[in-house]
Chain A
Amino acid sequence: MNDYSLNELIACVLAREVRDGDSLQCGANAVVQRSGFLLGHLDHGPNCRVLIGRTFANLWDVPVLQLYDMNVDWRAARWGEYVIPHDESFSWSSRRQISAFAIGALQTDKRGNTNMLGFGDDPKRLKVRGPGGVGTTPVSARLDRYYIMLRRHDRRALVDQCDFVSGIGFGDGPGAREKLGLPGGGPKLCITPLCVFDFDEATKLMRIKSLHPGVTLQQVLDNTGFAPVVPKDIPTTPAPTERELHILRTRIDPKGVLRKVEAVEA
């Protein structure tokens, strides 16, 4: 049996979502997401491209990367095939530019609507000011496919209704996105420290897709502030394979950042 960390498991879940040829991006402060996309690329995606150091790059044949702290670290630009200024990212359709994106959230509700604005009742007097919608808002509106990554799985993070919504998931139900004329496909998965959720096709409600090794259904239900759809048989999230761990530990994360107790995220 492999010995692996939760961060490594979550990175593998995301990596398995990667299709060859995907154009992959994630935001700042996103070490686990970035590791996951890089793993997918290096494991089975020779034609992928990733956004790294404000360049588009293909890293298939790069022997060892490093999880640069900075979103814009110039040292990470050395494999770039194209320099993409930040403003240029928003001057052509992100739906054409990006196949898949991983976003974080302070809260998500049962239909994958996310909150990064903060907590409270009054926008002018927030109890806690959050980072803001930032890139999660256009990603949620536009992209064919994106993933919600939660750092916590508890009743404050998974709620029946977010304090505020900054990223539209499936709105108030089937047809909501279409009514707003939004082009994107909505969230595909929500990945937490306890489990993986997908979305029921008919109702657009969050549905448990797999439980991480050692996690019980009751644990998930106790820590979720809404009633997710519970399938009859729930598989266990497959553990990282030897190959995945090898790529992760030798080429992507040689310093073992993912194996520290908390990943490097503020």
Chain B
Amino acid sequence: MERTSRLIDEKAAAALVQDGMTVYIGGFTLSSHPMAIVREILKRRVKNLTIVGAATASMEVDLMIGAGAVRKVITSYVGIEGHASVGPCFRAGAESGELEVWELDESMYYTALRAGSLEVPFLPDYTALGTDILRFNPDLKRFDCPITGKPLIAVPAVSPDIAFIHGAAADVYGNVRFNGSGFGDRTGARASTKIVAQVDKIISNEDIRMSPHLTSMPNVAHVVRTPFGAHPFASPGSYLQDNPLIGEYVQAAQHYQKTRERARLDDFLRRWVYEPDSHLDYLERVGLKRLLSLNEF
């Protein structure tokens, strides 16, 4: 008998997602989104997903909305720093009512995921007292504290079926290392039934054992090797974000948001999501010079 490797490819990772699932997509603003897997999920044309984005989600969630995969979004923000303070497809969906937005502020976002990871039905918070956030999200319940009598908000647990995160490195047994902070991914992952990590590189188990304090997430269910896997986003210490490609998306998505004409957005999706057969085909389309110009420092 042997210890089993958890290494799979990005297509197998994406195949874990079924219509209607609740999916956590990791990363933060312009960094560390599991894009190789996100593109494969979109290629499978899954529908009616509830996407739990990062507390500060970005183009990765906006793209999924634009591709028609998302029924409901749970996050405190979808915006593309430096390009668009509100994600264009998120904005279009919210204004038309086609996209259900489960409104949260940053604090209650983590409270909800923490309730999920602790497997309690809710946790209390209070930051939205006196605001209209309670009106935007009637699932948030105001109540009086049974101990002090003070007003509180019961924030229902958010428990994703599956979490996809991007890390710097992992071994084949699912021990993942983040370079830097890991943003909110520990909380998002711990609330989820299954965790899948895509990483820029695979390292040996011996390497993990030499420095276990550097392991950010232990024994995730599956690991996918995806060099430049966060592209067009940054991966701390490995590569910076590809601003022109993000800009290209924003132009196409903003055109859709302003006119409701899909042609440019569909062109972007065709070129950068649907046509490349695999992650390496995608990278080949991006081009070696372009990728290697995304200096890590």
Given contacts A54-B181, A123-B135, contact A87 B110 (CB under 8 A): yes
A29, A77, A135, A142: the one within 8 Å of B85 (CB):
A29
B81, A166: Cβ atoms closer than 8 Å: no
Of A69, A129, A130, A171, the contact of B81 (CB 8 Å cutoff): A69
Instruction: Judge whether A137 and B105 touch: CB under 8 Å.
Output: yes
Give complex CA distance A162, B86 in Å: 19
The residues of A that contact B184 with a CB separation of less than 8 Å are 85-87
Question: Chain B contacts of A165 at CB under 8 A?
Answer: 130-132
Complex contact B106–A138 (CB within 8 A) = yes
Whether A28 pairs with B95 at a CB distance below 8 angstroms is: no
Within 8 A of A (CB), among B169-191: 179-188
Chosen A-B contacts, 25 in total, with CB atoms closer than 8 Å, are: A54-B180, A70-B29, A70-B234, A70-B241, A71-B81, A72-B181, A74-B237, A85-B184, A85-B185, A86-B55, A86-B56, A87-B184, A90-B106, A118-B94, A125-B96, A130-B86, A133-B76, A136-B105, A164-B132, A165-B130, A168-B130, A176-B130, A181-B126, A181-B150, A266-B85
- Which chain A residue shows the least CB distance to B237? A74
> Across the interface, do A166 and B131 meet the contact criterion of CB distance under 8 Å?
yes
**Complex interface: chain A residues within 8 A of B79 (CB):** 28-29, 131, 266
A202 interface residue (CB < 8 Å to B)? no
The number of chain A residues touching the other chain, given as a range, is 35 or more
A142 cross-chain contacts in B, Cβ below 8 A: 127
Verify if A218 is at the interface (C-beta below 8 Å from B).
Answer: no
A84 on interface, CB distance cutoff 8 Å: yes
> Any chain A CB within 8 A of the CB of B133?
yes
Which has the most chain B C-beta neighbours within 10 Å: A77, A91, A131? A131
Are the CB atoms of A123 and B151 closer together than 8 Å?
no
Check if B133 sits within 8 Å of A137, measured CB to CB: yes
User: Which residues from chain A contact B82 at a C-beta distance below 8 Å?
Assistant: 29, 69-70, 264, 266
Most buried by A among B54, B81, B91, B114: B81
* B interface residues with partner A (beta carbon < 8 Å): 28-31, 54-56, 76-77, 79-86, 90-91, 94-97, 101, 103, 105-108, 110-111, 113-114, 126-133, 135-136, 150-151, 179-188, 234, 236-237, 240-241, 296-297
In the complex, chain B residues whose CB is within 8 Å of the CB of A260: none
Look across to chain A and name the residue whose beta carbon is closest to the beta carbon of B76.
A134
| Contact count A vs B, C-beta below 8 Å | 186
A168 near B90 (CB under 8 angstroms)? no
B241 to chain A, nearest CB (A): 7
Q: Mark A121-153, 1 if CB is under 8 A from B, else 0.
A: 001111111111111111011100000000000
Contacting residue for A168 out of B28, B81, B131, B180, CB 8 A: B131
Which of B95, B130, B240, B296 meets A129, CB within 8 Å? B95
Q: How far is the CA of A136 from the CA of B95 in the complex (A)?
A: 22
User: At the interface, yes or no: A83 with Cβ under 8 Å from chain B?
Assistant: yes
